[in-house]
Amino acid sequence: MGEISLDVLKGISLEIYPGEFILIIGPSGSGKSTLMNQVGILDTPSKGNIFLEGKDISKLDESGLAQIRGKKIGFIFQQFNLLSTLSALENVTLPAIFQNLPEEKRKKRGTQLLTQVGLGDRLHHKPTELSGGQQQRVAIARSLINNPEILLADEPTGNLDSTSGKQVMQLLSDLHKKEKKTIILITHDHELVKFADRTIHLKDGMVLKITGKRRR
């Protein structure tokens, strides 16, 4: 911040295992989103290391980081981040273009994913023609288009009503249980703890405690 150095995360050491559903919870300003940006290598650390499958990915150049983000990690954001000029199907298939998946295969997989999240009849609707819950389901389908092993979700229910929020959480829970996805979810909502294997409690950039048990 100008000439002022601000330490957001302080001495955090975490190990997340394949197939876990992890909740990172804490009040506003606790460092949740910064931690997710580190895990998802949207930002690189000023100190320390980030390992994925035993490889220190914090030392990769931007090209290497982009490849990992494109293939290994799917992102779900509170604001949906859908392009208003594109249809649901076009939004979902967009990341696959950068992985050079042929158009026919992109459309087939995108249609399958939108059907999976209950939007098979909304393929050609624009975001403005969808409810908030439907837009978030489009965003979830988009996060899955390249079949990532890890899903990072930043407050995925934050802009939704309670009914839509429950539907989104049930969808994420099903992806975890049925498809064995590793899910890391950022939230301030303690009601979501029931979905997680382990919950990491943050405050002032530090881990206060970790509750729950690792699923084996």
- The pLDDT tens digits for 75-108 are 998 889 999 999 999 999 999 998 899 999 999 9
Residues β-bridged to residue 202: 207
Query: Residue 134 has what pLDDT?
Result: 95
Measured on CA atoms in the order 19, 56, 201, 192, is the torsion positive or negative? negative
Coil vs helix vs strand at 21: strand
Neighbour-count burial of 107, counting CB atoms closer than 10 A to its CB (0-12 exposed, 13-18 middle, 19+ buried): middle
Q: Please name the amino acid found at residue 158.
A: G
Coil vs helix vs strand at 178: helix
Residue 159: pLDDT over 90: no
pLDDT digit string (tens) for 30-66? Answer: 999 899 889 888 888 888 999 998 889 888 888 888 8
CB-hemisphere CA count at 13 Å for 86? Answer: 15
| Closest to 83 measured CA to CA, from 97, 71, 70, 94 | 94
Residue 216: pLDDT over 70: no
Query: Residue 28 has what pLDDT?
Result: 86
Helix then strand then coil, in percent of the chain rounded to 5, is 40, 20, 45
Domains of the chain with CATH codes: 21-212 (3.40.50.300)
The pTM (predicted TM-score) of the whole model is 0.90
